Each structure stands twice: as C-alpha cells, then as structure tokens.
Chain A
Amino acid sequence: MAERSFKAEVEHLRLGAGDTFTGEGILAITKALLENGVGYVGGYQGAPISHLMDVLADAEELLGELGVRFEANANEAAAAAMLAASVHYPIRGAVTFKGSVGVNVASDALANLASSGVNGGALIIVGEDYGEGSSIMQERSHAFAMKSQFWLLDPRPNLTSITKAVADGFALSEASNSPVMLMVRIRSCHVTGSFTTKDNVRPPLSVREALSAPQSDFARVVLPPMSYIHEQDKIKNRWPAAEKFIVENQLNEVFGPKSALVGLVLQGGMYNGVIRALQRLGLADIYGASQVPLYVLNVTYPLVSSEFLEFCAGKEQILVIEEGQPEFIEQQLTTYLYRAGSQVKLHGKGILPMAGEYTGQVMLDGITDFLRKSAPDLLPSLVRAPNQDRLKVPDLSKTVPIRPPGFCTGCPERPIFAAMKLAQKQTGKLQITADIGCHLFGSLPPFEIGGATMGYGLGPAANAAFDGGGERRAISIIGDGGFWHNGLSSSFGNMAFNKSDSVAVIVDNYYSAATGGQDVLSSRAVNATKKTQHPISKALKGVGIDWVRQVNRTYDVGHMRDVLIEALTTKEAGPKVIIASSECMLNKQRREKPLAAAAIKEGRRVEAPRFGVDEDICTGDHACIRLSGCPSLGLKTLDDPLRDDPVASIDQSCVGCGNCGEVADAAVLCPSFYRADVVHNPSAFERRWAGVRTRVIGWLQSRRAARRLVFGGAV
C-alpha cells in the first residue's frame, strides 16, 4: 500500500479493555483477531475484505510488539496454505480473502488442511461477495465447508456478534481440530457500529518461538493410509466435538416466545433483514424483541439436529430463510425432520426465491406470505386483506441509463483499449480473452473488447485452445495483479511450454489496482516491508519467452497500436507478449497532487496540464468519446440554433493524462483538442520571453481583427 495510509485505523487496533470501538465491521474483525491471541495473519486482498489486509500492512509496529507475523500472500492458495502452521503447533492463525472466487483458488490447501486437522485454531475469514455491488459470479462458499468438513460461521451482522464469532471460531476450531470459516457478507464488512474492546493478547506461542522447537507427525500428512484415518476422524471425532461445542456454548441463538405454532429458522447474516420485516409487520419492536420464535444459525455448518428438533417441538410450521442457491440448509433440516418422523411442515424456497439477494422487499413479501398461510391471526388486518392500491411507480427504465463501473479519469488502461480498438480497425475483429482486474472494464462500451474471463491470472490460459494460431492471432489481456497471483505459471508458463502463437498484453499499472492499490512484486514504489521493483519482463525471460515488448507510456496510443500490430503480424514463432506500463492514475494523483500543491505554495515551478475542446471546431460526432469513455470527457449543449448535437467538453476533473490528444492524433479524429499547461511560478527569463511572444501574437491578432468583422459572443 504505497499511496494510502491507514495509520488512523491502526490506532483503533490499540484500544484496550472496556474501550468502545466505533467503525466498520471488517476493522472490528481485525481488532478481534488481536484480542484473541492470533499468532499469524495472512490473506489476499479483494472486496470486501481488503481493509483487513491494508490496515494490518500499516500496523507493522503493533504486530511486532505482539509477536504476530503478517503476510500479504501471493494469492488465496498461498494464504490458505499458511494455515499449515496450525496443523502441528498450538498457534492461532487467520487468513482472509473474498468468496466464492478466493475460496475456489484456496480450495486445494483448504481441503488438505481440513484432512490433516489442526491443533491451533485456524480461522478463514471470507468476505462473501454476493448480491448488490458484487463483482463476481453469484455462488456460495457454503459448499466448500460441506465437502471438506470444516465449520462455517455466519454471525448476526452487528459488531458485537461478529467479533464474538472470531473468538468462538478459534475456540471451536481448537475444540474440534478443524478449520473454521467465518463468512461475512459485503454489507457486514462495511456496516458501522460499536463494540466494547478487550486488551490485545500476545500469542502464547509465537511463530518465531515455534521455529525453535519444530514439530512433525506423519499421521497428519495426507497420504494413505493416514488420509483414510483422517476421513474417519472427521466423522467420528471432529464433527461430534464441533456439535458438542456449538450446543454447550450456545453459538446458535433462539429469540422470541418459548412456545408458538410457527417459527423462523435463519442464517445469522439474515437476522437484521428478518427483524426489519417483522418490525414492518408489527411483530418485533425497535430492539428486535420478536413475537415470532427465531432460531438463528450463527453456525450454518454443521447443523445440529438435536438443537433444531428442540426448536421445532410444538410448532406446526417453520420457514427456513436461507440466501443463495442451492438450498443446502433447507435440505439438511428437511432430512432431520423426516428422520425424526416429525409432522412439522417446513417451508423455504418457494415462498422465498431460490436465487438472488434477500432484499428488504423480498424478506417482507416472503415472511408475510408465510404468516398469511400459517398464522394469519398474527398479521395486522391491513396486511391480511390489503385493499389499498399501491401507487404505480412511473416507468423510467427507458430514460435512466445503466451506469456500470468503468475506467477512472486519466486511467492508463484506457489508451491501451483505444489502441486495441484502432488495431482491430486494421485487422478486423480479433479473438480476445480478458482476465480479472480494472482492465475487464474494457469489455464494456465504448470499447467492447474481450469476450470471456475465466479467472484471476487466467487470461492467456483462456486462449489456450487458439494457441496454435491461424489467419489472425488471438489476443489475451492480463493485469500485473493477475500476473503475480498465478499468471506467471498458469498463463505464461503454459504459453511458453506449448509454443503458443498467441499475443498477450500485460496491463502493468504498478499495483493490484482494482482491490485498492496494494503493491505487487513489480511495483515501482519502495515498500518498507515488501520486496518490490522486479520487472515483469525478467520473469518472462525466465520462463523462456523471448518476444517481449515493453511500452513505458501507454498514453502513446499510436505507438501502442503499432506494437500490437507488430505482435499480430511478426513472423517470429512462440508467444508474443506486450507489457504496457503506466501508473494507476488514482494512486499517482494520490501521491502527486499534494506534492504539486505544496510545490506551488513554496514557489517552485510546476506545470499543471489539462485538456480542452474548441467547441467551434468540434462537430459533435463524439468519435473521441467512443475511443475514451473518460468521466471528465462529457458533452455540452451549445446555445446556438445552428447546432443540433451537443459537443465534446472536458471538465475540471481532467488530469491531463494525454489520451484525448493522442487518440485524436492516432485515429485522425479532429483538431478540436488542445492541451493547456498552466505554468506556476515560472522563472524570470521564461516570463520575459513569454511577454515578448504574447506581445507579438497580440499584435498579429489585433491586426487581423481590425480588418474583418468581429462578432461578439463565443469564439
């Protein structure tokens, strides 16, 4: 994290016993790790858990004091593998990444870890990226817990419950010798609130101390016959131990009246949404006291049959509220009822939708529907028999445009895609695959480049079928984040080994930018705790790729296009790789803006570039926008009866990246763009010479103006 400081957040981590923490959920989890004597923490950044990684990366001093090792792992698999330290040693470890994609990558290590079993508490904190705001495919991490037999926590979404889940998770892991996954949804990670803190605790055994007394036991190695023993151990010992711990420590919660004919069973993460629906129905008060019994599953795997059947006793109908598909929990609970010969009728998917996020309206509709069928007396009369027509919302769907995320103002990736669009004008449409990262926005208008993404670091691998070449070569795109995540082996090793004839473009913006600007091996910044400044080109050489072109200024659209054409047409065999390097503008501005402001204040010479459009020369055809999509390049409707279409216009937020001018030039668009460099604190000589120029130019201008008609108004 070169360009952003989290020192203020680190202070939160130092709070002691009885203090009140107020802030975001993910930061609260970070604090809870330290309170529970964690010995090492690792992970791979990604929404919504980036914050945990970023803050700990800035907390070197505090972690040093506590003897905690923090590692920014190369990818999720590396992070999960780190938990191996808890297999033999009684050391608590935690890793974090996003779900379900990060869990996919980590699953090899997680499966081995779960088979070996753990001695120290092993906690996997997964930010479940599901529902609105998610940037990935809509799946559940739940299935991984089921297949590998580790336990899944889904606490109620408030800071007290989430931080308690951290403590419970470690204890449950140790009590059952199994890893525990703590799942927090996007909104739970970003929810704000308070909890009462405890003192941070040094790990009883630090990883450093453990190295002095190494341990090993072949019984923990996943090899036959031990692997068969592990399987039996999971079922016969670890699972029952987990159930016992869950019941004895009341990890699941029951709210509401002791006896009633109906009840709701819900994932902990659904609790606030359920309460809000009950509040709207008059069945819960402001503090959540519910008139309908609730069985809240803070542990969603394993499900404890006895506890569930006890809740069901005396009830006629229950509703299972489980977000996502398929309905693992509902199926399991149905089985429990059936096996127990119970008459309780279980509802779930059907009343509630099988797929999609459980929003406020979905929850209200579902619970209302359930109660209307099972306990109509509970419902207020208005809900029972609605006779009020709901106001029809005006249909604005034809008016309001969609607004997907896109490249930031001045993004160095924009000119790469502009160049690709121009290259395709020469070659015709090309087979292109994309990867994960900001550059995936190139697949959206106005560029529409890239038709598939198969995962992080897999852009070139996703073109492997076309590696043999053809009339036109295939292109793949990958970022520097994806390159170091696993692209070097999965994509480039694969290309080199298979003598690929394809082209790969590495978008090198100096950071893992989409996840918040974390450093990677090839970052240019000096990082006190991480090794950086290792060029991607050297790594490519190492795996045997010789045709490598380094572009050091992506904004040079013409050059970028020419390099692409060269890669597409060269006679040379083997993979053709272009490294397109320019710094992420967000991070660059974050670093340079304050420096420039300070320099101007101190009287040093600073040139501030910005672009503009001569509106008389712009014909309003918007060709420039179709090669840009920059937020600062907009439209302006002129007050001129002769003009039909709005002209291009550049607003104050322009950072003068140069893309507009280069695109106008490379695509031969129009001469309306100009760059204005405002020179602050020019030298005396510069000022004098500028004075001379201004006088000469001014004289020429007034000379011509005097001989023609000059109209007032816009020029």
Chain B
Amino acid sequence: MTLHSAPMDPNLSQIIKLAVLAVGGQGGGVLTGWIEEVARAHGYAAQATSVAGVSQRTGATVYYVEMAPASGGVPIFSLMPAAGDVDIMIAAEMMEAGRAIMRGFVTPDRTTLIASTHRALAVSEKMEPGNGIANSDEVMAAAGLMAKRFIAADFETLAVQNGSVISAALFGALAGSGVLPFPKAGFEAAIAKGGKGIEGSLRAFGAAYAAARGEAVAAPKAVAKPSVAPSVQGPSRLLADWTRLIARVQAMPEPVAQMAQAGLRKVVDFQDLAYGAAYLARLDGVLLRDDAARGFALSVAAAKYIANAMCYDDVIRVADLKTRGPRFARIAKEMRVKDGNLLHLTEFMHPRAEEIAGMLPVRWGQRVQASATWMARLERWFSKGRHVRTDGLVSYVTLYLLGGMRFWRLRTLRHAQEVAHLEAWLSTALAYLPRYDLAVEVIKCRRLVKGYSDTHARGLSKFDRVLEGAALLANRDDAPDWVRRLREAALKDEEGKVLDGAMATIRSFA
C-alpha cells in the first residue's frame, strides 16, 4: 500500500507554543506555573517543561509551555521548543532575547516576542577593565527584523517599582499582548491562586499589562535630559570668581566649552578656584595649537583628560567625598531608610605606605620613598585594612579633618608626581603635532590610568607601553588607528595579555 500525503490536521494550528528564556533566579518557574494555571482554568490542556538543572541562580534557563483546547482527547505536545516553531517567546532580559533569536525561536511568520529591555550583565561583560557591556541596540534591531510582533519594555524596573519581581510583569505583558485567548481576569486569578506577594504581583502585572497594550514597541530610553548648566552655590566672593572662570569657558569654541565646563567643575570641586584657573590655562595652551577645521577634537579630548588627570585619587579627595552631607542623604535614600530607622555606615580603607609618603612635602616625601627602612616602617604603622564607621564621631572627624587638607595638597609629593606625569603626557601628545589625529589619540590614552594601588600601577604600565607603541609607529600613516587599537587592547584584560599581543604585532612591522 502506498500512502499519500494528507492535508494537515486543522486542530494542529490550535496548539500554542510558548517559550521563556530567563536568567536563573528571575522566577521563570513561577511564571510558567501561572501560564499553565490560566490555560487549564480555561479548558485548555497544557504541558510545561524546564531544564532548571542545578540550584544555582545565574545561568540562562529555558522553560517551555504548550497548550491546546482540551476537547476530544489528550494532545501530544513537544517537550522542547523547536527553531521556527514558537508562537510566543518571552525573554526576561535583553541578551536572552538575543539568544532566543540566535536559536531560531523568533521567526517573522509567527513569533510574538515579549522582551524586557533591562540588562543583567554576564560576568564576561563585567570583568573587562574597560567597557565590555554588550550592545543592546544590535539585539533590538534583530528583534525588529525577526519578530512578527515585538513588545519591549523595561519590565524589571516596572516590577521593582511595583514592589514585585519580573515574572509578574512579564505575565502582565503576556496578558496585555492578547496573544493568549484568555481574559485579563483569568490571568489575575492565576496570580491570586499562588502563595506569596500577591498584591505586589498584581500591581506589577497591571502596570506591564498597560505597557504592553500601549504597544510600547522598542520603548525609547529615558528621554535625554536637556543639559543644564550645573547649579552652584557658595559664598558670593567665590561665586564671582566662578562666574569669571565660566565666562572664559564660554568664550571657547562650542564643542570645547561643553567639555571644559564639566572639567572645570570637577577640578574646582577637587581643589579650588585657583586650581580651576590652572586647568583653563593648560587647556588654553592646547587650544592655541588646535585647528578649527578638525572640529577642535584635540581640545575636546584635552579638556576631558586634563581634568581627569588633575583630579587624582589621593587620601584627601577620598576623605572629602566620604564626609559630604549630600552623600549621606543619597545613601539613606538608596538604602530605603525609613523614619525610625538608623543608618550605620562602614567604609573599607586600606592606606598603603605610598599614600602616606605621598602626603608628605615633596622633598621629605622623596627621601622617605627612597628609604626602604622608612617605607617598611610606614607599611607597618599604617597599612592594614581599616573598617571606618563614618556615622560615628571619632572616625567621621578624622576623615573630615583629612578631607579638609586641601590647603596642603599642592605641596605634597603626590601632587608633584601627578603634575610631572601630566606635563610629560601632554607634551608628548602635543609634540606629535601637526600629526593631529595621532596627538588626539595619545591624549585619549590617559583613559588607561585609573584604579588604586596594583590596578593603578598596571594602568600606568599599560599607558607607558601604548605610548611606546605610538613612538614606534609615529612615522606611519595608520599610526592614529594603531594607537586607538592598542588602547582598546589594553582595556580588554587585567594582565594586559591582549596588549602584549598587539604590541608584538606592531613590533613585527614597525
């Protein structure tokens, strides 16, 4: 007997296939349970599966539900989603949406994609010394291309704002999308049947329901704040001086002025108005040699990195920042301290001999730093982890006094060292002129100097090596591009292995 292909069973189109891709700990299991509940309550047969695996809370996990009207028998459901055969894809995080697309679970002919636009960063993104955060825009674009319908919003924030967790918000978005043939009340009943946190869950559900109904497709990021001039307060004498400095900034070409304003504010906050004037003087020096035809890129970069270089992280700065009033208010707000609660604050300080010596006047400090005996002594006296209670009077006053030592700062060894480094870097960069792009790239290498203690030392060494690379390449046309690449390589890993590789490459042809 020969069989011939028969028309497809029309009932098959009634099977609704729904997958959830979540990060462990987001409540994917609870969400799946609700979905099953609402389906069964409306006379559907439903089957869910998961590969939750071990108890850990951080890996990517998949949940899968199939449902169909339960009339006339038990439908045979699949236990796992198949590429090209998913009706509803819920991604509880933006990169998980990307993963769903990569796995073929989102196709233009059938898939409604509901995705939360927030990010739960993977370890690989967080551990880079530079900026390793994956680009959500690419996933957004892919989702727009691949999904039949795309519902996106920050469901995480929506849930937290409503005192709940993301599973409830995603359930609301699912209800709001209207892709399941069940009324809103049915969804809410499923939540109410569950155990804990019903009120919060229902609030988050409602908010997300509305968001999804509003077709918040590709929800725009928070509207960019119009850049306002920084509000500033203080004694009128200081304000008058500030106004004069700001006037100098405003006289600068537009792109430079914007960055210089932020820079000026930072250096004045770090030290004082005279220090601000010194900043502007340095910047003026760069501006003189700049080129309007290049859009003042050199001065914009210099405005940024000179300010950062001038605001080095010394003991005085840390103590000053740790003891300011608005900081206490900000922490109380972040920690949700309510009336009647108290807030204890513990800081983790670990001063080293280098920092103590850096606080000494230049010559004295140099002698101490040159003496192994003295350094060992300082190490013994000061270098240990200190847990400082800044809500307590003794510790607070100690830090407060340290923070008030700005009058002393410009005499210190640390300041002299920082100035020397700054001057050397700036003159090296400017010496590359008229190789304009190369000078700009060298200016930008200041980005590599950051962190404290070992991290800071490693940053300095990377900075030195990149500048060494720049010197090797100086005569090549593609030098600016290579310096940019070296800088980016230096930001890839802690040990500088990627940079080593890049340096080996340039040595091979330079």
Chain A residues within CB distance 8 Å of chain B: 22, 47-48, 132-135, 157-158, 186-188, 190-193, 257, 259-261, 271-273, 275-276, 279-280, 282-288, 291-292, 359-361, 364, 375, 377-381, 391, 393-397, 399-409, 438, 441, 444-446, 513-517, 558, 586, 607, 610, 612, 614, 616-617, 619-623, 625-626, 629, 631, 633-635, 637, 639-642, 644-646, 652, 661-662, 664-671, 673-682, 686-687, 690, 693, 696-698, 700-702, 704-715
Contact = CB atoms under 8 A, between A and B. Distances in A.
Contact of B404 (A259, A285, A399, A704): A704
B326 interface: yes
Contact of A645 (B74, B120, B131, B272): B131
7 contacts: A280-B85, A286-B76, A288-B76, A399-B139, A517-B55, A679-B343, A697-B328
B452 A669 contact: yes
Interface in B400-429: 400, 403-404
Interface string B203-223: 000000000000000000000
B435 interface: no
A68 B420 CA distance: 81
B263 interface: yes
A438 B24 CA distance: 14
Interface in B56-88: 56-62, 68, 72-85
B494 interface: yes
A599 B57 CA distance: 27
Nearest to B46: A192
B82 A359 contact: yes
B200 to A, nearest CB: 14
Contact of B385 (A261, A666, A702): A666
B348 A665 contact: yes
B122 to A, nearest CB: 4
Nearest to B119: A634
B263 A642 contact: yes
A186 B51 contact: yes
A541 to B, nearest CB: 31
Given A671-B452, A709-B242, A396 B98 contact: yes
A686 B342 CA distance: 9
Contact of B11 (A286, A686, A705): A286
B6 interface: yes
B224 to A, nearest CB: 9
A47 B53 contact: yes
Given A273-B79, A621-B459, A711 B346 contact: no
Interface string B1-41: 11111111101101100000001110000000000100010
A282 B51 contact: no
B60 A671 contact: no
Contacts of B259: 641-642
Contacts of B307: 642
Contacts of A399: 95, 98, 134-135, 138-139
A691 to B, nearest CB: 10
A241 B94 CA distance: 57
A391 B330 CA distance: 50
A669 B125 CA distance: 20
B454 A661 contact: no
A586 B55 contact: yes
Nearest to B196: A594
B331 A612 contact: yes
B193 interface: no
Contacts of B53: 47-48, 133-135, 186, 405
A680 B344 CA distance: 11
Choose among B99, B347, B494 the residue with the greatest number of A CB atoms under 10 Å from its CB.
B347
Contacts of B160: 652
B322 A614 contact: yes
B485 interface: no
Given A400-B134, A644-B447, A586 B57 contact: yes
Contacts of A359: 80, 82-83
A261 B397 CA distance: 92
A214 B146 CA distance: 69
B107 interface: yes
Contacts of B346: 661, 674-677
Contacts of B340: 681-682
B231 A711 contact: yes
A514 B125 contact: no
B76 A282 contact: no
Contact of A361 (B82, B96, B308): B82
Contact of A646 (B4, B133, B146, B450): B133
A678 B182 CA distance: 44
Given A192-B48, A396-B102, A713 B231 contact: yes
B365 interface: no
A403 B123 CA distance: 8
B366 interface: no
B452 A712 contact: no
Contacts of B56: 405-408, 438, 441, 514
Contact of A360 (B83, B127, B233, B391): B83
Contact of A191 (B49, B61, B123, B337): B49
B101 interface: yes
Contacts of A438: 54-56
B269 interface: yes
A625 B5 contact: no
Contact of A47 (B4, B9, B54): B54
B341 A678 contact: yes
A193 B9 CA distance: 23
